[in-house]
Amino acid sequence: MQLASEPLDHKMPCKMDKVMSKIQLDKHLDEAAAKKIWDEFDKDSSGSLDAKEVGNFIAKFCEVQGIEASDVGDISACFMKAFDVDKNGSLSFAELTGKTALEFKAVEHKADADKRVPYKTYANDASFGKDFPGLDSVTWCTENKDWTAQPKAGRPLVLLVWGKYAKPCYRYMPKYSALHACFRHHVDFVGMSIDPDKSYVEAWQKKYLAPWPCTFALCHDEKLAVKAKLESLSQTTMACPTLFLVDSKGKIVWRQDHSQIGATAPDWMDQVERQLGLLLQGQPLETNGPDPEEEEDDEEDEEDGDDGETDLGLF
């Protein structure tokens, strides 16, 4: 597999900026105070600000609300891209406050009536609703000024299980780094290696960190203790890479096996993006319906007198 020949995708996912901007606004902004600042920059009282005026507004807004200045440019660009609904190059106050902005919405996917879709996550995943086992036993392999050594209590967690030995993992590092860039102030991101020992992680960082950028914290699962617990909860053998999305209460709410490879294989990142956005909005997550093989297996058991064991396999 020639990794160097594969294109790197460093683009921020198209809908991420909408959620990031909305969260930044909801977290920091008092509308009355914002309108007062807004009116300072709407000098012609047109009710709208052009791109430059929006930048000035965001800079003042960040100054007043104590948001670090290094984020001003990104936040300003995100507001324009996310909230300029009519795409006329200017924002009204209603657009800026998100009243006319698009949001992530849960999708009721059609059931897979005839067969299971490989690697797809179904609503009756055994891990859903279970307590995440925690990361107390792991060894941390990165230091990041934007990230503390342990996930913060009460914050969602994105856990990407990966391994240096599994080269399909590498292309997911930039993809999850794009999510991290958008949500790092609100969600903890961890890449947990299940390689034989920590030296594998260090070797990967030395050789592959440049071509496959990774901005989130990396750790090594000592003695594969966390892996064993997650396999028990999900009732399946762990593939690489696999995502676990944990809510602020420490419950597993989504799992995605990304190990399917091939030029036309889906990466499921668009659904991961939506699920994370919905979680942060406090909305119900999407559902793909129950695993269609469940009923087929039950019928087969009755006909053949099977002992009741179900081949859970991999998604």
> Domains, the chain, ranges and CATH?
16-96 (1.10.238.10), 122-262 (3.40.30.10)
Tokens of 64: 């007043």
Element (H, E) at 74: helix 72-83
Residue 309: the pLDDT is: 38
pLDDT in tens, 286-307: 999 988 865 544 444 444 444 4
In the predicted model, what is the mean pLDDT of the chain? 81
Confidence class of residue 146 from pLDDT cuts 50, 70 and 90?
A: very low
Tell me how far apart the alpha carbons of residues 149 and 147 are, in angstroms, rounded to a whole number: 7
**Residue 125: is its pLDDT beyond 80?**
yes
**Residue 197: is its pLDDT beyond 70?**
yes
Residue 70: the pLDDT is: 66
187 in Cβ contact with 16 (< 8 Å): no
What phi and psi values does residue 170 have, to the nearest 5 degrees? -60, -40
Tell me how far apart the alpha carbons of residues 253 and 251 are, in angstroms, rounded to a whole number: 6
pLDDT in tens, 247-284: 999 999 999 999 998 878 889 999 999 999 899 888 99
Confidence class of residue 51 from pLDDT cuts 50, 70 and 90?
A: confident
Roughly how many angstroms between the first and final C-alpha of the chain, as a whole number?
Answer: 23
**Residue 311: is its pLDDT beyond 70?**
no
Neighbours of 293 (CB within 10 A): 17
pLDDT in tens, 8-40: 444 456 677 777 777 776 767 778 888 888 999
